Chains A and B, each alone.
Chain A
C-alpha cells in the first residue's frame, strides 16, 4: 500500500519500494542507485564484495517501471557510484539498462558521486523543473516544491530500521534505492536542520509505506 502526498499542489505517491510516482505525468523517480558500487570497492579498496548488487538494483527498478507503467524516469543523482562505474559494469547489465531507457523519457540528474559526463542514453541534467516541482540531487535551503535525494534517510520503528522519505510542505527527500546503500538517521542535524517542524517520515521496505512524525 502506497502513501499519497501533496507537494506544491501536485499529488505524488511514495511507494513501499522507495520509488516516487507522479501519476499525472506517469513519471517514476528514484534516487541514489549507486550502480557499480562493488566494482568501485574492488578497484579502490581491494575489498571484493558480492558483485550482484547492480543486477539486483536493476531488477527492482524494472519491477517498479512495470508496476507503474512509467513513461518517464528521473534518476535523482548518485546513479553511478563514480565516473568509472559505467565502464566497469558487466556488459549484460549495461544492455539491460539501455533496454529500460529505450522508449522512455529518461533523465539522469548529476550527483556528487557521478557529477561528470556519462556515456549512456538519456538526458543529463544538473536539475529539472516540471511544473511547480524541482528535481535535484541535494536539497537547497529555502527551496519550495523540491524533490531531492543524497542523504539516504532512515528511521527506527518497532525495533527495526526502515529507509524513508522525508516530507514537509516545501520539500521531499527520497530514500536510497540502490541495493548496497547505508543510511543516515532522520534525527541527524543535517536533516533536522533542513526539514520543517511537522515533517513526516514515510517508512519504506515493508509491505506498505507507513507515515510517522519525523524523529527529531
Chain B
C-alpha cells in the first residue's frame, strides 16, 4: 500500500501535514511479516507504526481486534490513546481505540474481553493476563498487527523475554499476524531485529542533525561529593526562564524530590514547575501529565519514568542532572528536546559533584564521537519460561510438543533444548524435587498427551502473580483527613519502618509529618518548613558502561586538565597529592578509618559486576583473615568494603587460588545470590508476591525466601531454581573472568595506601545505593557490641 485512503490524506492535507519518508516506507512495508523501525525520538515513530492500521481500517472496516499496541509504560498507552484520537476523529474514521493496563477498571476489562476494540493499547503484563484467559483464542483470532513501542527498552529486561513468548503465543492464535517494532537509536540493530522475529526487515530513519549538548558551568563549583545538583539551582532556574519548556532529568527519585523542593524555595517568580516520578501516586502523575499536555508547565523535574517517548508538547531544553551512566540513555534523553523533525535537540549536562564532571566530560566525548554502548543479552531466562508455562496452563490444556515448538520461535528461546524444556515443565508440574514428594498434589497433571491444571481454581493465584517486575516492598502514603486521605505516593517498607510519629520526610515535593501506620498505609499530615529526612525509593539504578569507564581512565592519565573546570582539575590534583589517581597498570587500594569503621577501597575500574564479584571475594578473604568485614558496595570504578578491623596491606587478600577455593560455597551463601533467588522464585511461581492488602498487623509474616534457598542448597543442590539462580548471577551479577583479567594485567602490582581519612576520589562511594551486608563473624561482633550498649543504656548490664 503506497497511498493513504482519501479520508486520511484529505485530513492530512487540510492540517498542512506531510509524512516523513520513513512514515511512507512503513506504509509500503505494511504487508511484511516483521519490521523494525529505528528512528530518533521525536521522529514520528508512533504514527509511522499506526499508519498502516489506520489505512487498513479506513479502507475495510471490520469488527474485532485489528491491532495490539504494547508499550513498557502505562502512561504511554494513555498518551497514545490521546494522540490517536486527533487523526481518527479528524478524518472521521470508524475506529475504536481503548487502553488496558493495571489501572483499567474491572467492568471495562470485562467488556473489552467480550467486545474488543479495533486498537487495544496495553503493557506486557496486561497482555500476559489477557492471554491467560480461556477465551484468548477468540479475542485474538483475527488480530492483524502488533506494534511494540520502545522495543530497545523492553529488550533489555525479562519483560522483553516474556514479551517474545507472548508474541509466539499470539502468532499461534493468529498465524497471519504482522509484527512491528519501534525503537530509538541502538548500537546493534540486527540483534534487536532477531529479538522481534526471525527475518525482520530493518528500516532506519534519518537520525537527524547532531544534538547541541554542553556542560552547564556555574559560578558555584560542584561539591566534592553528593548528588542532586542543588548547588546549581540558580543557574537552572535561569535556563528555565530562557526556554519554553524544560525537562530536568535526575538519576534517582530521592534526588528529584530534594531538587524539586529547593527549586521551589528559589522560585521567587512562581514559574509553574511540576515533578514526575514513579513513586508518586497515579492521581498526582496524571495531574502533571495533563498540565504538561496543556502547555501549562515551564519545567518538569523527573526521573526515568519520563525516559520513554511520552510526547507532551514543546520541550525545547533537556537538562540532565548528575552524570549520565550510559551514552545510549543520554542520547535518548536528549532526543526529548525539540520534537520538530530535523531540528537539533538542545541539552545541558549538570555534573552533581567533581567526579561527575569527569564522567560528564567522558559522556560528551562519546556523544560527539557517535559511539553507543550496550551489552548483548544472553539466552532467555528459564524463570520467565516457568511463568509462561503456568500462564499457558491457565488458558487451557496444552500439548508439550506443540508448546515446545511454539517457544522455539521466540528469539531469546530459539536455542532452548528439549531436555531443558522438559526440566522446566517438570518443575512447574511437580516442583522438580529430587524427593518426589508431591505426586498427589502436582500442579499440572498429564492426561493422555495433554497437560492441565490439577486444580483449576489455582488459575486465580497464578494470574495474580503474572509479570516479571519484582519490586521492593512499598507502602502507600496518604494525607490523613476525614475523607480517606489524598494519596501522595509510595515509600519503601524498610524506610517506613524507621519512622516514628513526628518524623518528617519529603514526598511529592512537600514536607510531611509521619502520623502512623494504618492498614499498611503510611498516614501523614502537612508540615511545611521542617528539615526533612529523605525518603528511600527504589529509584533507577544505572551501571556506567564499560565504554565510559575506559574514557574516564584515559582522562586520569593526563598531567593536567585544562579542558575541565578549574575546581575539578584541582580536585583531581588533590587526589594525586594525598593518594594517587587510579590507572590500569597498578591496582590502587586505599585504606582509612571513617565514621567509626575501617574502610578499604579497591579501584579496579572493571565495571560494576566485576567490582561486585571482587567485593564478594575480598570479603571472603577478609573473613578468613579475621578482619571482620561487615559489608560492601560496588560501582563501576571501585569496591568499598567496611568492617571492624583495618586492612594495612591488601595484597595478600588477592591470592587468586585461595580466592577460588571455597568460592562456590561463599558465593552461594551470599546476600546477592539470595536476592537473585527471591526474584527468580517469584517469577517462576514458587512463591507468591506478598499482597499488601492481605497482610494484617498482629500476624507473623511468612517465612523468608532465604530459608527456602538455604534448604534447597542443602538438600537439592541441582534443583532447577538453583540452576536458574546461578545462571542469573553469572549473567549479571558475578563476573569472575574480568577479575582474572584484572589480576593478570596488574601481575601482583597491588598498592595499598593507608590514609588518615577518606580520599577525594572515594567520597562519592559513600553515597552509593545497593549496599550488600556480609553475614560473618563481623556481624556477630557487631551484635555483641550493640546488645551490650543497649543493655547498658537500659541500666540492665
Listed in ascending order, the chain A residues whose CB lies under 8 Å from chain B are 38-39, 42-43, 45-53, 55-56, 90, 151-152, 157-160, 162, 176, 179-184, 188-190, 198, 200, 203, 206-208, 210-213
Contact = CB atoms under 8 A, between A and B. Distances in A.
A152 B793 CA distance: 26
Nearest to B687: A47
Q: In the complex, which of the residues B441, B700, B780 has the most CB atoms of chain A within 10 Å of its own CB atom?
A: B700
B604 interface: no
Contacts of B440: 43
Interface in B421-464: 430-431, 433, 435, 437-438, 440-441, 443, 454-455, 458, 461
17 contacts: A42-B431, A48-B438, A48-B441, A49-B431, A49-B686, A50-B433, A159-B773, A159-B779, A160-B779, A160-B783, A179-B711, A181-B703, A189-B698, A210-B784, A211-B791, A212-B787, A212-B791
Contacts of B688: 47
Contact of B437 (A39, A183, A206): A39
Contact of A158 (B430, B435, B699, B779): B779
A51 B439 CA distance: 12
A182 B790 contact: no
B14 interface: no
Contact of A48 (B431, B700, B775, B783): B431
B697 interface: yes
A48 B430 contact: yes
Contacts of A56: 711, 714-715
A28 to B, nearest CB: 23
A184 B699 contact: yes
Contacts of A181: 700, 703
Given A46-B441, A212-B790, 14 more contacts: A47-B687, A48-B441, A48-B686, A50-B708, A52-B435, A56-B711, A90-B437, A158-B779, A183-B701, A188-B697, A198-B796, A210-B783, A212-B791, A213-B794
Contacts of B699: 184
A213 B711 contact: no
Nearest to A210: B787
Contacts of B786: 157-158, 212
B711 A45 contact: no
Interface residues of B, number: 47
B719 interface: yes
Contacts of B791: 211-213
B441 A42 contact: yes
A181 B706 CA distance: 11
Nearest to A38: B437
A16 B786 CA distance: 17
Contacts of A158: 779, 782-783, 785-786
A48 B443 contact: yes
B295 to A, nearest CB: 49
When A and B form their complex, which 8 residue pairs have the shortest distance between CB atoms, in order from nearest?
A48-B431, A51-B437, A42-B441, A52-B715, A158-B782, A46-B458, A182-B701, A213-B794
Contacts of A152: 700
Nearest to B436: A51
B429 to A, nearest CB: 9
B715 A43 contact: no
A181 B779 CA distance: 23
A51 B700 contact: no
B294 interface: no
Contacts of B707: 179-180
Contacts of B47: none
A213 B711 CA distance: 31
Contact of B700 (A184, A203, A210, A211): A184
A162 B786 CA distance: 13
Nearest to B722: A50
B210 to A, nearest CB: 49
B701 A184 contact: yes
Contact of B698 (A49, A51, A190, A212): A190
Contact of A180 (B703, B716, B779, B782): B703
Contacts of B796: 198, 200, 211, 213
Given A46-B441, A49-B686, A52-B715, A157 B703 contact: no
Q: In the complex, which of the residues B437, B455, B773 has the most CB atoms of chain A within 10 Å of its own CB atom?
A: B437
A183 B698 CA distance: 10
Nearest to A178: B703
Contacts of B714: 52, 56
A189 B516 CA distance: 13
Nearest to A181: B703
B704 interface: yes
Contacts, number: 127
Nearest to B433: A51
Q: In the complex, which of the residues A48, A159, A160 has the most CB atoms of chain B within 10 Å of its own CB atom?
A: A48
B220 interface: no
Nearest to B778: A158
B700 A52 contact: no
Contacts of B430: 48
Contacts of A49: 431, 686-687, 708
Contacts of B708: 49-50, 180
B446 to A, nearest CB: 16
Given A42-B438, A160-B783, A212-B791, A50 B712 contact: yes
B702 interface: yes
B783 A182 contact: no
A81 to B, nearest CB: 12
Interface string B181-220: 0000000000000000000000000000000000000000
A46 B786 CA distance: 42
A199 B78 CA distance: 55
Contact of A50 (B443, B702, B716): B716
A162 B775 CA distance: 12
A214 to B, nearest CB: 10
Contacts of A38: 437
Contact of B715 (A55, A206, A213): A55
A159 B630 CA distance: 10
Nearest to B782: A158
A44 B701 CA distance: 18
Q: In the complex, which of the residues A42, A45, A189, A208 has the most CB atoms of chain B within 10 Å of its own CB atom?
A: A42
A206 B780 contact: yes
Given A56-B715, A206-B780, A51 B431 contact: yes
A159 B437 CA distance: 36
A173 to B, nearest CB: 13
A188 B431 CA distance: 35
Contacts of A45: 458, 461
B391 to A, nearest CB: 15
Nearest to B704: A182
Contacts of B433: 48, 50-52
Interface in B746-783: 773, 775, 779-780, 782-783
A182 B715 contact: no
A47 B455 CA distance: 12
A31 B687 CA distance: 25
B773 A160 contact: yes
A180 B709 CA distance: 11
A138 to B, nearest CB: 13
Nearest to A209: B787
A196 to B, nearest CB: 13
Given A52-B711, A52-B714, A182-B701, A157 B687 contact: no
Given A157-B786, A211-B791, A151 B700 contact: yes
Contacts of B700: 151-152, 176, 181-184
Nearest to B701: A182
A198 B440 CA distance: 50
Nearest to A187: B497
A43 B455 CA distance: 10
A51 B435 contact: yes
B779 A182 contact: no
A90 B785 CA distance: 44
A51 B716 CA distance: 10
Nearest to B435: A51
Contacts of A198: 796
B438 A203 contact: no
